[in-house]
Structure 1
Amino acid sequence: MTENKKISRRSFIKLMAGIGAVAFGGGIFTLRKTSLGRDIENQARGLLQDKQAQYLRQMITSDNAASRRIMWQAADYMSNPQIRLRLQNDKKREMLVPVQDDSFFDDGENHIQYSALLDNLAPDTQYEFAIEDGSSQSKWFPVQTAANDKNKFSMLIFTDSQSSDYSDWRNVAQNAMKRHPEAEIFTNLGDLVDNGEDSSQWRAWFSALEGIIDQIPFAPVIGNHECYNRDWKEQLPMAYLRFFNVPENSSKDFNRYYYSFDYGQVHFAVLGTVEKEIKNFKSGLMDEQADWLEKDLQRTTKPWRIVLMHKDVLQYRIARMPERKEGFSEEGQLFMPIFEKYNVDIVLTGHLHTYRNRGHIIQGKHDPNGPLYILCGLSGNVRYDRLWTDHALDEVVAPQPETDNYLTMDVEGNEIIFRCFLPDGTQIDEIKVIK
């Protein structure tokens, strides 16, 4: 999956006449006078080049009832980028939001990138925004803020979308959104791409999410494959950390590796389980996170507590490796006592490319009072057919040989319901958690 690493520095095109319309991730750029309240003009003084803005994404923030972060890539530097924000269809009251340049260099490419924070928003409210550059404007995109006082929403859950060509990932994600249009937020539990430095894979990954990631907020989780360079040697996860501007965690060395956020009545703690991959560059990630996690879970007042992490808490036997024993991974040994101490309700993991529902666990045994642990499977096309021997704590295992899958999470008052689906929509598992 290789391509020319150098991007052409195409010039900004200016035309003195003609209609201002250029494809933008499925949207249209049209000229609008920059003064507030004025109508869109029919004739364009300037025209943005094709794909000048692309891979538009909405990112979660620490409080999604009051804010949302907007990010996108550009083919060339924009002259005067900004966001125009308004209540949905309210053409009389609009505001301009400043944009920051978040560009970075990686994989031999200059990734021109912009970011804007929409804040001071009202809870449970429909907004819309458009990207502007000088006299040109994108189509309007929706922003729906979370509701603080209403404990009901739906979430899509994917994991391990790493692929050879990302067509399976596109199929899983797009069909999941079509079947569950009520979803307000989605996550991917790590190993988003197969090679974290390969820019072509990131472009394929983003392209597969057109019409999803630009419509609802994304909560990413870092995986070990985000920490590989093109020579398949370990490196710091440059692209992942720059592509996804997630909430700050006050860490000097590991900013954006882990974070937390609230959505409705749920508090999410997102862990970064990549210490082995980055240990030659800097150490201390796991111990720092353990301290942070305890403080984070102590602070939250939300009734529901959910942990998202890439590497799994259990260790599986492998038939061809008799020396590998069934038990708990290093991550499980470190974090599971914290989950139990602070009453975490649900722990969602990936990494092993297999779907396993383990039920509720306390101190290594099934216990209805413990957190629910779900190993969420895979959403790409990298499969480990029958690699793992069943674990004694497994309660439900996906039909073999396994294919890709996705999950839904429906929060409804004092209960959360998980459902696991195959790519064709066949449901293979359902789990209900009641507080």
Structure 2
Amino acid sequence: MRKGGWTVLAAFALVMAPAFTQSPGENEPNLAVRAGSTRYVASAMPDRIIASPAQDASSGFAVNWRTNDRVQSPVIEIRIATDSPDVGEPRRITAVTRAWQASNGGVHVHRADIDGLAPDTLYMFRVQGEGSWSGWRQLRTAAATGEPLTVLFFGDTQNKNLSHVSRVTREAMRHAPDATLALYAGDLVAEAVDDNEWGEWFEAAGDLPDVMLVAPAIGNHEYREEFEDTPQERRVLGESWMQAFALPRNGAEGEHARATTYWFDAQGVRFVVLDGTSALDLGTLQAQTRWMDRVLARNPHPWSIVLVHQPMYSPRGRGASERLRAAWVPVMEKHGVDLVLQGHDHTYGRRAGDTRGKALPQFVVSVAGPKQYRLSDEAKREMAPTAEDTQLFQVLRIDNQRMRYQARTVTGRLYDDVEIVRDAQGRKQLREIREGRIAERDCTHRDATLGGRSDRCWE
């Protein structure tokens, strides 16, 4: 049926079309949901369920989830995974509930710490809501030192999580289906207090939190500014970060670092997570330095990895890196850290430190999200490989003798490949593996972003 040359169906489609329609050459919005959407409002059903490692990841983990504000102290049920739907009488643990006001309304967030678990064992668990339960999920505890461990690492996600970061997550899981741990370099979202951004981050994570533990570093975008553009301007930790994860409570001393730094052990690796933002802006640099020194000095394992948002060597040439590098790199070198995983600069680069003859630690900066900056000339000279205009993820495969690091593009192509080999005396050697890598990528094909910024390749 036609009316004035238009079909009725076409006219109806125009009426129902979304408010934003992306035209060729126009930058898409940061959020997929419209303003005022109720998609991510908390409900009776538990959501944003995510588990993080305990200090000893072989014997426990903690689970975080949220509901509407009518749910008080719900329980988690857990038991060793079975081949039958008959789960018998699972262990029950009552969660600690915290109330807070998100930008999408009142929320209750629940945390349950689970200890006494057996190493290298697959557990199934579900969490309670208001007259409802989540589906059963399965997670494996860490195994003994020396058993093979597979870890995923993601640089900054930050922007357009649902639109662009979700495919990075899926490709990473396809390449490493045996991964039991995922690390994030911080700046998970762009606006610390926007609950829709957090909703899209969790949705972009998809099935990943269903099958592996998640350990994030905090970035500067997880903080918010108070009294901006006044003499009283200051950084304040965003409440959303505090309510999103159930992280180990073993961080550095002081109110500005205790909740954002932590460490844990998993299968022969000590992981140390730092907070570069509070170190630079809130006066915790020395406290974190002392804490890291102690944690690494007591490491009984053959491997150590540091995770921090701000890079020690900035691929964009940011001066703040010099302060962190002066305080933290000597501690990392002193204790034989193997790998330092970083984000913040929305590019890719890998290098050793400045100490002549020291190949370790290897310092990596990466980006998973679509915001893409440009490299400094110094980074092009001193880092190899480097990349611009490229979304990436990393796969680490670790056993008693080797730590294999690979960076892949969002389409799964091999971009970087290196191995740290450990001999019987504990001496380590770096081996570059160049076979199969694609050519280095740059942004010479684009002078500016769609928004007109020449300092970025994409935004």
TM-score by length of 2: 0.76
Q: Deviations over 1:165-187 (max 9, x none)?
A: 53111110122112211111101
Report the counterpart of residue 268 of structure 2 in structure 1.
265
Are 2:413 and 1:381 equivalent residues in the alignment?
Answer: no
Output the amino acid matched with 1:68. F
Partner of 2:20: none
Which shows bigger deviation, 152-161 or 170-179?
Answer: 170-179
Which residue pairs with 1:186 in the alignment?
Answer: 182
Output aligned runs, 1:189-228, within 5 Å: 189-228=185-224
Map of 1:397 onto structure 2:
386
- Residue matched to 2:100: 104
The question of whether the paired residues in 1 share the 8 Å contact of 2:396 and 2:406 is answered with: yes
Cα offset for 1:222?
A: 0.4
User: Given the superposition, is the C-alpha separation of residues 285 and 237 from structure 1 closer, same or farther in structure 2, using an over 3 Å criterion?
Assistant: farther
SS of residue paired to 1:137 = coil
Match of 1:161, SS state, is coil
CA distance in 2 between counterparts of 1:366 and 1:142 reads 44
2:315–2:375 CA contact under 8 A, matched in 1: no
**Which is richer in helix?**
2
- Letter of the aligned partner of 1:298 in structure 2? A
1:372 to 349, 362, 374: 362
State the distance in 1 between where 2:220 and 2:136 align.
Answer: 36
- Contact 1:312–1:329, Cα closer than 8 Å, also in 2: no
Q: Match of 2:183, as an amino acid?
A: T
Mapped contact 2:40–2:196 kept (Cα < 8 A) = no
Alignment of 1:17-416 (within 5 A): 52-78=45-71, 81-89=74-82, 91-107=87-103, 109-133=105-129, 136-164=132-160, 166-228=162-224, 234-249=235-250, 251-253=253-255, 254-275=257-278, 279=281, 283-316=282-315, 329-358=322-351, 360-363=352-355, 365=356, 367-368=358-359, 370-375=360-365, 377-386=366-375, 389-398=378-387, 401-416=388-403
Going from structure 1 to structure 2, the CA distance change for 1:354 and 1:231 (only over 3 Å counts) comes to farther
- What displacement does 1:268 show? 0.5
Q: Deviations over 1:129-165 (max 9, x none)?
A: 1223576433211121101244311011001101135
Cα deviation code 1:350-375 (max 9, x no counterpart)? 111111121x3352x4523x312112
Divergent runs of 4+, >6 A: 5-10, 230-233
- The alignment partner of 1:329 has SS state of helix
Gaps of 5+ in 2: 1-30, 423-459
**Cα distance, 1:71 vs. partner?**
1.0
Question: What percent identity do the matched residue pairs reach?
Answer: 24
Q: Answer yes or no: is the 8 Å Cα contact 1:5–1:107 preserved in 2.
A: no
Letter in 1 for 2:399: E
Mapped contact 1:196–1:239 kept (Cα < 8 A): yes
Alignment-mate amino acid for residue 74 of structure 1: T
Gaps of at least 5 residues in structure 1 are 11-49, 319-323
Root mean square deviation of aligned Cα: 2.8
Task: Give the superposition deviation at 1:94.
Answer: 2.0
In structure 2, the partner of 1:425 is 412
The Cα shift of 1:108 comes to 6.6
- SS in structure 1 opposite 2:325? helix
